[in-house]
Chains A and B, each alone.
Chain A
């Protein structure tokens, strides 16, 4: 079985300050990990993914995440928040032994960016 815990349901930052969205996962096997973003009235968009290559993964829009197996974490960071980053973010785990791309989502973190 696999699961994902997003440690903060809401995060508020000021524009231009760093962003940290925390995620811990549980998986019986070597997982693939993803971060998705969901803007209001838009579909889920893949930000980045980890699939057992480099542990530091760079994604779109300046986001990156680091896979730490010893801590079972996959936190999402960005050096400087932009107003357009305000959205819901989901940490996701996939176990390719199961239904291919079957994804297990965390509960989500709503990122708010203050001017």
Chain B
């Protein structure tokens, strides 16, 4: 596609449920990043993929969060046992390589009720 695509655009889930958020990067981009933007704050880094491997997952807040990119393209961010504090906009970005401009998707707004 022309840009980074994230689905769904909005997700409402009940506390304790499991959710998956999907990111389709720009075709050919090897680097993929996940960020989380809480209300009124700037985005915070979660995890970064170079190809299929997670090169840096130091931003994941705890072991309820996990992300995969099995074929080096689409990535899925998975959150287990969701909590109300997980409510935020989850942003995905991709770049051709780790030294060129990262392009952001419009994000998935997750609300945990």
Does A pair with B?
Answer: yes
Chain A residues close to B by CB (< 8 Å): 4, 36, 41-46, 49, 90, 96, 98-108
The 15 sampled A-B contact pairs (Cβ below 8 Å) are A43-B91, A44-B43, A45-B104, A90-B42, A100-B50, A100-B97, A101-B33, A101-B48, A101-B93, A102-B48, A102-B56, A103-B35, A107-B40, A107-B42, A108-B42
Q: Give every chain A residue within 8 A of B73 (Cβ-Cβ).
A: none
Q: Give every chain B residue within 8 A of A44 (Cβ-Cβ).
A: 43, 91, 93, 104
With A43-B104, A43-B105 given, is the CB distance from A101 to B98 under 8 Å? yes
Shortest Cβ distance from A108 into B: residue: B42
Q: Give every chain B residue within 8 A of A100 (Cβ-Cβ).
A: 31, 48, 50, 55, 95, 97-99
Q: Give every chain A residue within 8 A of B95 (Cβ-Cβ).
A: 100-101
Q: Which of B45, B100, B101, B105 contacts A102, CB < 8 Å?
A: B45
Query: B56 touching A106 by the CB < 8 A rule?
Result: no
**Cα-based distance from A44 to B105 in the complex (angstroms):** 7
Shortest Cβ distance from B41 into A: residue: A107
**Cα-based distance from A88 to B31 in the complex (angstroms):** 25
How many of chain B's residues have a CB under 8 angstroms from any CB in A?
A: 29
Residue B70 at the A interface, CB < 8 A?
no
**Cα-based distance from A49 to B48 in the complex (angstroms):** 21
Q: Give every chain B residue within 8 A of A41 (Cβ-Cβ).
A: 106
Q: Give every chain B residue within 8 A of A46 (Cβ-Cβ).
A: 101
Q: Which of B42, B43, B101, B106 contacts A42, CB < 8 Å?
A: B106
With A42-B106, A101-B33, A104-B45 given, is the CB distance from A96 to B101 under 8 Å? no
Q: Give every chain A residue within 8 A of B4 (Cβ-Cβ).
A: 43
The smallest beta-carbon distance between B50 and chain A, in angstroms, is: 7
Residue B3 at the A interface, CB < 8 A?
yes
Shortest Cβ distance from B105 into A: residue: A43
Q: Give every chain B residue within 8 A of A108 (Cβ-Cβ).
A: 40-42
Enumerate the 7 nearest inter-chain pairs by beta-carbon distance, A residue then B residue, closest first: A100-B98, A105-B42, A99-B56, A44-B104, A99-B48, A43-B104, A43-B106
